Amino acid sequence: MANKWFETVAVAQERAKKRLPASVYGALIAGTEKGLSSHDNLTAFDALGLAPHIANLPRTREMSTTVMGQHLSMPVIISPTGVQAVHPEGEVAVAQAAANRGIPMGLSSFASKSVEDVCAVHSSVFFQMYWSGDRDTMVQRLERAKAAGAVGIIVTLDWSFSNGRDWGSPFIPDRMSVKNMVKLAPQALSRPAWFWTFVKSGRIPDLTAPNMAKPGEKAPTFFGAYYEWMQSDLPTFDDVAWLRSQWDGPFMVKGVSRIDDARRVVDLGATALSVSNHGGNNLDGTPAPIRMLPSIVDAVGDQIEVVLDGGVRRGSDVVKAVALGAKAVMIGRAYLWGLAANGQAGVENVLDVLRSGIDATLTGIGKASIHDLNRSDVVAPADFYRTLGQG
Ligand SMILES: Cc1cc2nc3c(=O)[nH]c(=O)nc-3n(C[C@H](O)[C@H](O)[C@H](O)COP(=O)(O)O)c2cc1C
């Protein structure tokens, strides 16, 4: 059998592109409108440099930390994504990989696996919610997550139902009816390795969202759940404060770009916030989170745990984010490429790539611990940073 190990996340993405049907690959590329934000998320990290030392380098490097009361063997968290048709084991494979590598996992409420199945293989799961449905429904979801064993909540607020991409959106069926299977058959059959993984598992790609089911009801389809979300009121900060009051454990607000919003997130009693633009999938033109990170850390970093997600593909990206003040990063596409390329082992491979990249970067810049990193470790162009919502 060919060696399935890959040496960088970019190689995993190449393998995913070859292995996945075009519409599934397109759903992971995602982005929106012109793709300005998803592009900036990657190029902003590239624009940051590092200043290496050549001697007196540290013999050992410390990279463990804590976020939301959980131990992290390195400053990386699995960001919640609805992975759907990537791999038959989906989020359970991701959770197993995260558990094996000692990092927490955010589980999307639009995931293809239930919170019970995921918490059964990992003790460090943060359940992610959108503002969807009425208050009773949201409380039911919180109670279900707690009963399953979730140790924290992530509420994602940066979504404005933008649709349309200049490069075209992939066809994703509402359900796997015979008609849709016939329509997708040419794509699926052109990717026999992916197709065979599903055949062997005895399943067809599951397009339901089991965590959005009401008690005693069948899991809605992905689009059924999306419709509920679209029909829901848009939350106020008072609503979010109410949601926070319903959960007596760690609580993260994901999607913050502005200082004024970050302050409100502190005021409502959140444990953590993620500086994030949803991987560039939401409001196109939102700058890369790494550009806003220092201003948000300066404003609220002593009152709340600040993490970042968007554009992290390498260990050196993780080091740059931590040097600019993040306690940790969350990764999205990086682990999805690993999952697509090689299931659970592929996700572990991605995490190992990041770990060795963090280690090599710490060595090169002469830092014995991620806790010793600071802004002077990063070389930024003059007009790099952005401060939104000041005053
Ligand atoms: C295919 C896909 C699905 C996603 N689904 C969710 C989701 O259900 N909930 C959520 O909070 N964020 C979701 N995100 C955003 C990620 O959690 C994260 O913010 C983003 O992927 C980070 O950027 P990166 O992919 O460059 O690492 C999704 C992202 C992608 C690419």
pLDDT digits (tens, 9 = 90+) for 36-72: 999 999 999 999 999 999 999 999 999 999 999 999 9
**Ligand 1 pocket, residue 82 CB under 6 Å:** yes
Q: Are strands 378-379 and 49-50 parallel, antiparallel or unpaired?
A: antiparallel
Task: Give pLDDT, residue 199.
Answer: 82
Task: Give pLDDT, residue 202.
Answer: 80
For the record, the structure tokens of 9 come out as 């996340």
Ligand 1, atom 7: closest residue by C-alpha: 81
Task: Give pLDDT, residue 184.
Answer: 78
Task: Give pLDDT, residue 170.
Answer: 85
For residues 96-121, average pLDDT: 97
Element spanning 245, H or E: helix 237-245
**Ligand 1 atom nearest to 111, measured from its CA:** 8
Task: Give pLDDT, residue 192.
Answer: 85
Name the catalytic one among 39, 53, 87, 278: 278
**Ligand 1 pocket, residue 81 CB under 6 Å:** yes
Predicted TM-score of the model (pTM): 0.97
Task: Give pLDDT, residue 1.
Answer: 52
Ligand 1, atom 19: closest residue by C-alpha: 278
**Ligand 1 atom nearest to 254, measured from its CA:** 11
Query: 391: pLDDT confidence band, cut at 50, 70 and 90?
Result: low
**Ligand 1 pocket, residue 156 CB under 6 Å:** yes
Query: 332: pLDDT confidence band, cut at 50, 70 and 90?
Result: very high
**Ligand 1 pocket, residue 281 CB under 6 Å:** yes
**Ligand 1 atom nearest to 312, measured from its CA:** 27
3-state secondary structure of 330: strand
**Ligand 1 pocket, residue 80 CB under 6 Å:** yes
**Ligand 1 pocket, residue 276 CB under 6 Å:** yes
Whether the pLDDT of residue 204 is over 80: the answer is no
Query: 182: pLDDT confidence band, cut at 50, 70 and 90?
Result: confident
For residues 102-123, average pLDDT: 97
Q: Which of 79, 212, 226 to mutate to test the pocket of ligand 1 (most atoms within 8 A of CB)?
A: 79
Closest by CA position to 240, among listed 267, 258, 275: 267
**Ligand 1 pocket, residue 19 CB under 6 Å:** no
Whether the pLDDT of residue 84 is over 80: the answer is no
Instruction: Give me Rg for the CA atoms of the chain.
Output: 20
Ligand 1, atom 28: closest residue by C-alpha: 81
For residues 172-187, average pLDDT: 74
Q: Which of 172, 252, 278, 350 to mutate to test the pocket of ligand 1 (most atoms within 8 A of CB)?
A: 278
Ligand 1, atom 3: closest residue by C-alpha: 81
User: Is 39 annotated in the active site?
Assistant: no
